Structure formats: C-alpha cells, structure tokens
Structure 1
Amino acid sequence: GETAELATVVQANIALINNAQREHQEFMTSVEAVANEHAAVLSALPMNGVAVFPADSDFCHVWRAAADGRRIIDFVLASPGNQISAAVTGQLLPNGKLQIKTEKGSIEVQLNTLGQHNLRNALAASAVALAAGLELQNIQLGLESFMPVHGRMQAKMLTSNHTVIDDSYNANPDSVRAAIDALKQSGLEAWLVLGDMGEVGEQGPAFHQEVGAYAAQQGITKLFTLGEQCQFVVQGFNDALNKQALTQSALHFKDVDQLLENLNHALGSREADDSVYLNILVKGSRFMRMERVVQALLEEAKTCS
C-alpha cells in the first residue's frame, strides 16, 4: 500500500508496470490487489507522462483506466496463440534473436539472458526507452550489452557439460514456473534446486505443491528442495509423476549441508558419462540464501578440476 505515496515522492514522467504476479500474497491477498496497487503509479503521472505496461495482461484494463488520457506505450511478446497488437511487439526468431517492432521501425537483438520472461523484460525496457526518446539503434546496443545481474538467470559452467543457472535472488510461484520454462527450453537434462518461497500467506502449501507438480510435468529429472514449505513442492512433484517416470526423483532437506552432500553425490555419479549435458537451476526467496548452493557447487567443481 505504499506505491501511491512513493510515486508522489518520485514524481516520474514515465512509469512501467512489468506484470502482476502472485507476489507479496501474505499482504496483498490476490493478484488483482497487486495489479490495483501497481496502478497507483500510473495515476500519479503528470498528464503529459507516459504509461508503459503489457498489452496481454489480464489487468491491462485496470492500467488503461489508471492512465486516464495519458500517453500509453504497451508491449507484447507475440506467439501463435497470442496475436494481440501493441505499440511494441516482440517475436522470437528461429535464429534465437528477438525481433522488436515499433512505429519507428524494427530491430533484431541477440540477448544474453535466458527465458521467455526476459524476452518480455527486453520489450518493457524498449518501450520505456522509446518513451524517453531513444533511437532504435541505441536501444539495440543497450539490450545486447546487458548482462544478467547476480542471482538473475546467470549461467555458470561447472564442467564442460554441467552448467548451474543462478536464479537465487528471489522466487514466487509465477517466477519459478517461468524459470522452469527457461530451463527446459535448452532441451538438455534439467535439475532443479529450490528453496522456500516467502510472503505466500495461507496459500503457501498450495503454491509450493503447484510448482512441484509443474516441475514434474515439465520433465525435471531431479528435484532437490530446502526449507519448511518446500516439503509441499516434493509432495506436488511426486503426486504429479507418471507411475512410469522412473527417471524422475525428488528429495527434501531442512539443512543446506545435507542438500549439498546429496546433490554433489548425484553429480559425481554421472560425471563418468561426459556425453550427457545437464543444466541445474538454483532458485528460492531471498531469505533462503540459495546463492550458498551456487557457490558451493562452483567451489566443488574448482576442487575437482
């Protein structure tokens, strides 16, 4: 409930709403409440300000109403099932580049980030840059020079065929699902190391079960979880498993050292086979400090090299 007050202090002339997700649910109680809270930043804009938000959100009508006559630059990532028009439209090309179309023309960008959610982030940044008056070639240079910040989908090599993806900075149910999608896009074998998601309120067990089931459905081979709530992730994973899916397994730990011991053992048992490539995603809410797992894996790999 602080957005309106903070927006008055900042007095921005461009405001971006990137999404409305199941975050801060301990306090906000619903995604609609999150969307309405976000809308306050648009209502605080001067009348010559610019509102930026996704055109395909379930709550874009809320944000259009909050913009109330101000200029809008909306954005959307096109897909076969999503052909909504917007001021900034993105499409992932077969060569892996992101094509961005605007009223000023189009550019093709090679991003250094993983996942569909980061394609949308690039479109959001492009829309804000256009609102600020930047030219397309400068937007292209900026996007292509961007490198992921610490704990945000950073790929780090453990061995020649094992990569850890450090997404440890934070987690909510929707961002975990997006990270799993990004993990599976590579087509490689995928393991998930997940810590508790915070600020989930009474829906905590259900949210954790949900992401566990999703991980199983997406074909995560091994799941390692840490914390109190993540026992429900393992429960959801096991409940969703096909009885014939003998290659998938899940383990829960309350102690990070025990998790690391089992994770390193699992890694060691497959290092003899250098023909199989593996991505390991590490994620959790900030208070879980899941970067400890990333750092331990990197140190173990350095010791064994």
Structure 2
Amino acid sequence: MNLRKTVLAGLLLSPLWAMANMPVVASFSILADITREVGGERVSVVSLVGADQDAHVFQPKPADVKKLAEAKVFVANGLGFEGWISRLSKSANFKGVTVTASNGIKPLAAAEEDGHDHADGHDHGRADPHAWHNPQYVMRYVDTIAAGLTKADAAGASYYRARAEAYKLRVKELDGWASAQFAAVPQARRKVLTSHDAFAYLGARYQIRFMAPQGVSTDAEASAKSVAQLIRQVKKEQVKAVFIENMSDRRLIDQLAKEAGAKVGGKLYSDALSAQPGGRTYLEMFHSNVMALSQSM
C-alpha cells in the first residue's frame, strides 16, 4: 500500500472523518442555523422549511420524506410549531434521534402574557411556539441540540460541547446588548404592531407590547371584527412601530396601517431566516430585529 492509500485509509477509520457528514434534518431555517453552529464540521444539516418560507403552512413533499429517512438526527422546535411533524416522521419511518429543541421550556400562553395582545383575544390558552425570540431560551435550545447530536455521535461529545459553549457566549452577549437598546426606550413607547403573534417571548423578555391581527399561527385568517378592533386600538394608543414579517403576506398589515393612520416602518424576521443580508443567521436576524424595533419606537 503506497503512502497516499495509507493516509486515506487512516482518515476513513478515524472517528472525525467517519462522522464528518452525519446527516441531520432541521424542521426550519432558524433551527438549521443553530444546529450548524453546534455541529460544525461533523454534521451536514438540511432544513425542510427554507429561508423566507412559512413553517405554519408547510406541506412535506416526497423529497422531504426521503431526506428524513436518510437522516441520523431530526431537530424540531416543538410546542406545536410543526403541525405536520408526526405525519412526516411516520411516513419516513424515522428511526434516528429526534431532538425537540424547546424541551423543558415552559411555553407562554397566547394572548395571556404581558408583552403581546390580540384585538379579540383569540388563541387564548394556546401554546406560543416562538420561543427562539428570547435569547435565554436559545441558550437552552443549544444545550438540547448538543445533547441530541452527542446521542447520535458519542465520539463528538467534547466537540459539540465546546462549540455549544462558544455559541452560547455569543447569544448571551447579544441578549445583553438588546437589553441596553430597549432600556433607552421609554416604557410607554414600547408598543409594536406585527403581522402575526410571533413575538410574545421577545415582548416578555424586554417588556414590549406586541399587537397582531393573526394569532400564533399564520394558517388562520384574521376576522374582520378583530381587524376593526385592532385598528381602533392602534389609533387610540398611537402605535408608531408597524412591521411586516419576512415570511408573511404584507397586504393585511398594509391595509391595517393605512386605516389606522400609521406607517409600515420595516421588516422583522419572525419564523424564518432570509436569503438577504440582515437575516441569514439567527444572530444576524435577532440583531436586525432589535435595531429595527428600538429605532422605530
């Protein structure tokens, strides 16, 4: 055996090479990015729901079933975010490690917590799945994902833990920066109108009141009554911060802002990353959201 073949054989037999491309499927783009940060070079991550796409209305295709069937790890958010997840897992006959990133996080109940509101109180008692908008919870996501990857690849335990700790430091730093940004905004002005109720965790973390015509999922249309009530509320409270979301149809929020005499001030990243600068990673997305919100308020 020549030297080249000897080196190649050694690489193929090494634990790092063997697991360098462990196939991992994430349910949507934000989770895929966090999983790549933790998994590094040992994993190959694909996202079922891509950038600027809405996971609430996603319908798995045969190609998605195939991706999951070939994966070793499936990372999902949980809290009811992926209504299609059980059907997909069953169709793929998935036998690998399933990681529920939100495991252990107590969910907020929609329209029942400080920081967000609906015009007619719809979605009362329904779990809000958008926990990634609180960086403190993202740090828990990271630990859960690291544990799941380790379960499937025990040889990479120290590697995943080191990357997880490094990434959590960056998330913690971002959280501290966000707190300082919002602290400069008077409490009375921390009111925001968005497309759907995706920011309750961010609102609870930084004492911001979010209003939305739609509930925690975009798959249900806002009623005419709720829109009318919300218009009156926006007028009464003189809400200045009005935003569309990168994965939502902007027509409803445009109509609502026009009738309320408000102006749409920009875009927030809620349920998906973006292919455009400003929202290509979780850290970038969160930074962009905080800048947009704090400046508009």
TM-score normalized with structure 1 length: 0.40
> Higher relative contact order by CA 8 Å / sep ≥ 6: 1 or 2?
2
TM-score normalized with structure 2 length: 0.41
- Give 1 or 2: higher helix fraction: 2
- Give 1 or 2: higher strand fraction: 1
